[in-house]
Structure 1
Amino acid sequence: MTEQGRLVLAGAPIGQAGDVSPRLRAALESADVVAAEDTRRLRRLANDIGAEIGGRVVSYYDQNEAARAVELLEALKDGRTVLIITDAGMPGVSDPGYRLTHLAVEAGVTVTALPGPSAVTTALAVSGLPSDRFCFEGFPPRKPGDRARRLGALAVEERTMVFFEAPHRLATALAAMADAFGADRPAAVCRELTKTYEEVRRGGLGELAEWAAKGVKGEITVVVAGHVAEAGEPDLDELVAEVDRRAADGEPRKAAIVEVAKAAGIPKRDLYDAVHRRTPTP
């Protein structure tokens, strides 16, 4: 019986080739198959770090990820070592990689990672915002309605939030965040991290949206402060629990939301959103 191979998720530099570890250089040279989001960028990186790619190089990007994952799984089952590398950061984190990882885990194939620089934690560290607790939200939805709903659901998120965004959508996304979180909510826009023209712009979301409207280029990571409850502000968890108690006693949930919101002095829409975020759907 052929021994199964190994899947290696390789973290790529987010800007500087000098951030490559000796382990990544060695892995690129020894892997049987290297699946790259952009094969040209891979070869440029290999040239920059003096690595000789010894195995077969194949493309592995959003449009062919599903089909290629099946092909690569067969290579793993045949005992090959398959290395996935994206343009920057860790495969599977807002980049191709999840599908093959999921298939490999289901098939009992060993999955390991070569950690590398992360735009998420780098931006968080330089933002100046609280970093003891945070959540990564990836790219906000592109459609206005979907984006508004997603951000609205995060309005009372207490952890610092990290987003990715394309430069041409940044101003729109920041304006939507200002609407959902408040124009004065502290945030940082981190552009071209670790690169020559690295820039970190800090301020309120409204101010940052105005700045971005003038045009921004490069790779963007946005860090937004979490919600801070003001003194005397109702505890939404307690209000949701009160709605649940009333519903358990037979009161229609919609009526309970209206009454509890009225008694707490908050918009019923806020409590409605909180109830449907935190109460599992039967």
Structure 2
Amino acid sequence: MIEVRDIRKTFTVRSGLLRRTRTAVRAVDGVSFTVREGEFVGYLGSNGAGKSTTIKMLTGILTPTSGSVRVAGLDPSRRRTALARRIGVVFGQRTTLWWDLPLRDSLTLIRHLYRVDAGEHRRRLEELTGLLDLGPFLATPVRQLSLGQRMRGDLAAALLHDPPLLVLDEPTIGLDVVSKATVRGFLERLNAERGTTILLTTHDLGDIERLCRRVMIIDRGRLAYDGDLDRLRASVAADRMLVVDLVRPAPPVQLDGVGVERVDGPRQWLRVPRGMNAAAVVAALARRYEIADIALREPDIEEVVTRLYRRGGSPGPE
């Protein structure tokens, strides 16, 4: 569905008041990857890492300085209009809907833009209305919608023409917990049941953990990681957390190689290094303390990504 080969994008930045100087800044520097049909891929990067620039090249908004891009079999920069009929795009901080029109009218105009058959539009709108629970606010002007309602409307607009690829840029930014869960559940179902290929960029790493089987991380214009979450956790060697509920409050437990992160009454959070056998730690605790409950937590994706950035390198190929 997506094939990227050694793409680079360089911008010229002008500075200075009296004597203007030009500096070449390489936003994307030799990135290559492929996304197969039906994949759900998370694309992560800090601000300025090159994430948004990559997305703009995939959708034809920007042309690569060098390298090649094929999306749905097309060159995005040369076939942008044709590509628009084969992809859906949602930018979380922008809307494709008409501000003063009711949501239903906006979706009708989008049907004409994509030249969707009236019967097909009716069927798709009915399906999306049910999946995204649009019914209560289809007659509401877009400017009166909440952020969560507008995002669901934007998702419907991006999918009315039934594209095989959906590109999402921060789709849950600013959403409340309920709206975020609704959007996540819809995307999960869209990928699983319809086989829609989804490329997701987000700063909400909960989206990644819930939705994505594969993660790509871009750092300073280069691809720092491409693989699954479990391998990323293992390769970065982030510590695991052992949450122990003792029968009664006690001073911080003392075990060789294990650090106590926090104590709250009878509950203690123990940091267990990746190379240490967790079962042996639990057995040692049981010999020394009365334990009411115990749980082992893997490091969350946010900590793993932070460690990868600090290390400044890739975990290596799969």
Normalised by the size of structure 2, how large is the TM-score? 0.27
Greater percentage in helix = 1
Normalised by the size of structure 1, how large is the TM-score? 0.29
